[in-house]
Amino acid sequence: MTVDASGSSRPAAAPAAGTRDPAQPSTEGHEGVVIGAFARAFGERERKPQDIPDFERLWNDRSPDTDFTAMGCGTFRTMTRPIEEYVREAVGATLRTGSVPADRVDRIVFATSDARLGSLGPDFAARVLDGLGLVHCVPQVISFQQCCGSLTALAQGWAELRDPAVRNVVVVSLDFTPEDADRVRPFALFSDAVVSCLITREAALDGTGPVRLLSSAVGLDHAGLLGQDSFLSRQKVAQAAYARVLGEGRRLDDVTKVFPTNLYAPVTLFNTTMAGVDRDRLHFTDTLAAYGHCGNSDWMINLVDYHQAVGIRAGELYLAQSSAPGFFACGLLAGA
CA distance 85 to 78: 14
Q: Which of 150, 145, 197 is nearest to 174 (CA)?
A: 150
The residue that leads in pLDDT, 333 or 16, is 333
Q: What is the pLDDT of residue 209?
A: 60
Higher pLDDT, residue 252 or 9: 252
**For 52-61, what is the mean pLDDT?**
97
Q: Residue 300 pLDDT more than 50? A: yes
- pLDDT tens, 2-49? 334 333 333 333 334 333 444 555 556 687 899 999 999 999 999 999
Amino acid 207: pLDDT:
53
Q: Please confirm whether the linkage preceding 210 is cis (ω < 30° from 0).
A: yes
Closest CA to 149 of 107, 187, 212, 195: 195
How far apart are the C-alpha atoms of 82 and 155, rounded to whole Å? 28
Q: Is pLDDT of 98 > 60?
A: yes
Residues 6+ apart with CB under 8 A from 222: 326
Per-residue model confidence as pLDDT tens digits over 113-168: 999 998 998 899 999 999 999 999 999 999 999 999 999 999 999 999 999 999 99
pLDDT tens-digit map of 176-226: 999 999 999 999 999 999 999 999 998 666 555 689 999 999 999 898 788
The mean pLDDT of 221-245, rounded to a whole number, is 88
Of residues 75, 60, 58, 56, the one with CA closest to residue 292: 75
Per-residue confidence (pLDDT) for residue 266, from 0 to 100: 96
Whether 201 contacts 167, CB under 8 Å = yes
Chain centre distance of CA 139: 19
Residue 336: predicted pLDDT: 87
**Complete DSSP assignment for 184-208:** B-SS-BB--EEEEEEEESS----SS
Q: Choose among 4, 3, 36: nearest CA to 207.
A: 36
Q: Is 246 helix (H, G, I), strand (E, B) or coil?
A: helix
DSSP secondary structure code for residue 282 in this structure:
B
Q: Assign 224 to helix, strand or coil.
A: helix
DSSP 134: -
When comparing pLDDT for 18 and 68, which is higher?
68
* Closest among 306, 312, 304, 303 to 336, alpha carbons compared: 312
Q: Which residues contact 186 (CB under 8 A, 6 or more apart)?
A: 62, 63
